[in-house]
Structure 1
Amino acid sequence: MKFEGSYVALITPFKSNGEVDEDKVRELVNYHIENGTAGIVPCGTTGEAPTLTFAEHEKVIKIVVEEVKGRIQVIAGAGSNNTDRAVELTKYAKELGADAALSTCPYYNKPSQRGIYEHYKKIAEEAKFPVMLYNVPGRTGVNIEAETVARLAEFPEIVAIKEATGSIEQMIRIQDLCGDKIEILSGEDHLILPMLSIGAKGVVSVVANIMPKEMKELIAAFLNQEYEKAYKLHTELYDVSRNMFIEGNPVTVKTAMKILGKIDNDIVRLPLVSCEEKTVDKLTKLFKQKGII
């Protein structure tokens, strides 16, 4: 299975009473399909997986798979710092008909590289399902080193990595060690162009929630060797990307989506809180300057 293009790290919209808004999830899925997104990634960091109940987590994956109907890929968030829970979620994604599971490096526990290897080894061997590693040490507290990625790439189930260290050097090292055994996707929107230049095949994107067409076109332009067009799109998206983390993720992107009329509210769950008014004003001004509104 090939993982290439723009994948959206989908937000989880909530109703005014705080419940998951199923109708809005389905609406967003179709919005992304219409705009050329390669795949939906529900229940990741941007989808507020840490504050979803187990039942909600599974429900959101089920809704997305049902609504996609095989039209694009679904990479279901299935990470946990409890290895058995990660195996359970990965098996559930498989049963539902997702294409792969996004599995974050175990967070808070701060395992050794051997522990990380054994964690993913158990998922691969027990779930028997394609897994995209997710390396984001800024959130998990530990880095999946390139050598560990290379060891894991020997498992046929470990098919890709979402790389969000921000280290170009590490990404080059992964590419050198793994070759075509694993596909690299950027986990940093503002680094997409340099990552593509060293062999990445796409992105799992936050900004694609609000600019899916432009993100899709950026990846396609580079892969089609239209480098001037890719650079132009990169510069257009860069400022927006950098401003999607003013008050953290997914807080800022939800506010952006509300400003642009893509969701009805920007409700997030504690311990997250919605953006302050000054951030709303800043984003509104930016979107007007960029011609987005």
Structure 2
Amino acid sequence: MASNNSSPNNPVSDSLKESLKAGLCGSIVAIVTPMQPSNQGSMPSIDLARLKQLCQWHLAEGTNGIVVMGTTGESASVSEVDYLKAIEVVVKTVAKRVPVIAGTGAISTTKTMDLTTKAAALGADAALVVTPYYCKPSQEGLYLHFKAVADNSSVPLILYNVPGRTACDLLPTTVARLAEYENIVAIKEATGDVSRVKELIEVCKTPIQLLSGDDATAREFIQAGGHGVISVTANVAPALMSQMCQLALDGQQKQAAIVDQKLSDLHRDLFLEANPIPVKWALAAMGKVEDAIMMPLTSLNKEFQPAVLKALEKANVKTQ
């Protein structure tokens, strides 16, 4: 039965919503956007061929879903033309084998609605909508923002809370209000505070999928009742991340901890500089992408490179 908080303009079908929720678990990669180095100081261009190859690799390695054009994908830095091209390539390459989630959050509500509409038209299965950054809205402002996006979206929404980047915190009580909307199906909770899982479970009368946005605490997050992680580490160690998440979901916590220990240095050292600087450099060291990133971000500082290489080695990830 539909709730009173359905989205009348573009309602999401019950079958689509339930199918997506069932797929939002395990290791979901926040995929990088490969780029080609620029000439004479110009901005790099997106390497769509490499992006396609990365998607195929993730499918082969057991990744459970792909977020394209999230923070790790440099969505805030690329042109809208490249943003849409990247979503299109990922959607076509994945071909419904796992959920494809497009990052559509922006600083304004109207821009967020526009990007969500365009991502849906390209075939994205869902939209990952970050809290509006920089402007620091109130809890009521956040509620009205997500409500407006939900009311105008033809695909399900995943809330994204990352106070360390946005300067605002989507509190569990506000999430509980938003969870009543039929096409708000999940939250990416990136505070790193595992106690949020219990609080969200307790306050959300309408259950939603709970996804960690913090690799270092993802295993504990799942153990506390979460369903998976939207992961940076999965970019370089997709099979191990998928294995760790599945073990945790299956209640095999000792085995999950053993796998997670292999990944622990990556969880830490892929954030020695701002994401996605270290993970793009790591993928370049693996031969998966070129060492290119959109300004104002720059390539990984040489002083941090040995630590990242050592972390890759600990996880048995081969480099060139």
Q: Under TM normalisation by the shorter chain, which class is it?
A: over 0.9
Q: Flag the structure with higher helix content.
A: 1
- 1:234 corresponds to 2:260: yes
Matched with 2:239 is 213
- Residue deviations 1:22-65 (CA, integer Å, cap 9, x gap): 10010000000000111110101000011011111111111110
Preserved CA contact (<8 Å) 2:172 2:203: yes
What is the deviation of 1:67? Answer: 0.9
Choose which of 265, 269, 272 in structure 1 pairs with 2:297: 272
| Mapped partners of 1:7, 1:46: distance in 2 | 13
Q: How does 1:115-130 map to 2 (within 5 A)?
A: 115-130=141-156
Matched with 2:9 is none
Q: How does 1:138-217 map to 2 (within 5 A)?
A: 138-178=164-204, 181-217=207-243
Matched with 1:248 is 274
What is the deviation of 1:171? Answer: 2.7
Counterpart amino acid of residue 150 in structure 2? A
Matched with 1:5 is 26
What is the deviation of 1:180? Answer: 5.5
Q: Any gaps of 5 or more consecutive residues in structure 1? A: none
Q: Any gaps of 5 or more consecutive residues in structure 2? A: 1-19, 39-43
| Mapped partners of 1:179, 1:28: distance in 2 | 38
- Residue deviations 1:233-261 (CA, integer Å, cap 9, x gap): 11111111111001110000011111122
- Residue deviations 1:116-141 (CA, integer Å, cap 9, x gap): 00000000001132000000000000
| Mapped partners of 2:178, 2:160: distance in 1 | 12
Matched with 1:99 is 125
Relative distance call for 1:127 and 1:288 in structure 2 (3 A) is closer
Matched positions, count? 292
What is the deviation of 1:157? Answer: 0.8
| Mapped partners of 2:216, 2:205: distance in 1 | 24
| Mapped partners of 2:204, 2:240: distance in 1 | 30
| Mapped partners of 1:179, 1:166: distance in 2 | 23
Identity, % of aligned pairs? Answer: 38
| Mapped partners of 2:108, 2:295: distance in 1 | 22
| Mapped partners of 1:285, 1:41: distance in 2 | 27
- 1:69 corresponds to 2:90: no
Matched with 1:80 is 106
| Mapped partners of 2:55, 2:311: distance in 1 | 26
| Mapped partners of 1:206, 1:95: distance in 2 | 26
Q: Secondary structure at the residue paired with 1:31?
A: helix
Matched with 2:7 is none
Matched with 1:23 is 49
- Runs of 4+ in structure 1 deviating by more than 6 angstroms, as ranges, are none
Preserved CA contact (<8 Å) 2:236 2:317: no
Counterpart amino acid of residue 81 in structure 1? I
Preserved CA contact (<8 Å) 1:163 1:185: yes
Q: Secondary structure at the residue paired with 1:127?
A: coil
What is the deviation of 1:287? Answer: 2.8
What is the deviation of 1:290? Answer: 4.4
| Mapped partners of 1:251, 1:266: distance in 2 | 10
RMSD over aligned CA atoms reads 1.2
| Mapped partners of 1:272, 1:33: distance in 2 | 28
- 1:287 corresponds to 2:312: yes
